[in-house]
A = this chain, B = another copy of it.
Amino acid sequence: MIALQSGKTPLYEQIYLAIKRDIEDGKISFGEKLPSTRLLAANLNVSRFTVDIAYEQLVSEGYIQAKAGSGFFVCDLSNLFSGIADCGGSCVPEVVHDSQAPRAHIDFSPFAVDPIHFPYNTWKKRNREVMDKTADLLVAREAMGDRGLRETLSAYLYHARGVHCTPDQILVGAGNEYLLLLLVQILGGCCSVVMEDPTYVQAYEVFRHAGCQVRVGAMDEDGLICSELADNPENVVYVMPSHQFPMGTIMPLGRRQELLDWAEGAEGRYIIEDDHDSEFRYVGMPIPSLQSRDQKDCVIYLGTFSKSISPALRMSYMVLPGHLSERFYRQFDFYTSTVATGQQLVVRAFMESGDFERHLNRMRRVYKAKHDFLLKELKKRSWVRKIRGENAGLHLVVEVDCGYSEAELLELALERGVRVYGMSSYRIGIAAQEEPVTLLLGFGGLTEGELLEGLAVLDELLSA
Contact = CB atoms under 8 A, between A and B. Distances in A.
Contacts of A83: 295
Interface stretch (A38-46, A174-182, A362-370, A413-421): A174-182
A332 B202 CA distance: 10
B177 A62 contact: no
A87 interface: yes
A174 B339 contact: yes
Interface stretch (A310-318, A379-387, A403-411, A426-434): A310-318
A138 B109 CA distance: 14
A141 B146 CA distance: 24
Q: Could you say which of A84, A113, A253, A287 has the most chain B C-beta atoms within 10 Å of its C-beta?
A: A253
A135 interface: yes
A450 interface: no
Contact of A338 (B96, B140, B174): B174
A98 B142 contact: yes
A334 B252 CA distance: 31
Q: Could you say which of A120, A124, A144, A342 has the most chain B C-beta atoms within 10 Å of its C-beta?
A: A342
Interface string A158-191: 1000001010100000110110010001000110
A449 interface: no
B135 A202 contact: no
Contacts of A61: 250, 252-253, 287-288
B174 A189 contact: no
A95 B284 contact: no
A167 to B, nearest CB: 8
Interface in A169-218: 174-175, 177-178, 181, 185, 189-190, 201-202, 205-206, 209-211
A53 B283 contact: yes
A209 B257 CA distance: 34
Interface residues of A, number: 106
A107 B6 CA distance: 44
Contacts of A120: 131, 134, 137
B124 A128 contact: yes
Contacts of A147: 98
Contacts of A127: 127, 131
**Closest CB pairs A-B (n = 9):** A62-B252, A62-B253, A57-B284, A312-B341, A174-B338, A98-B142, A174-B174, A140-B311, A138-B310
26 contacts: A16-B284, A54-B284, A56-B283, A57-B284, A60-B252, A61-B253, A62-B256, A77-B257, A80-B257, A83-B295, A84-B293, A92-B166, A95-B166, A97-B329, A98-B144, A137-B310, A138-B311, A178-B338, A189-B211, A190-B211, A202-B334, A202-B335, A205-B334, A312-B340, A339-B340, A340-B343
Given A91-B164, A98-B144, 10 more contacts: A61-B252, A61-B287, A92-B166, A93-B322, A98-B142, A98-B168, A138-B310, A177-B336, A205-B334, A340-B340
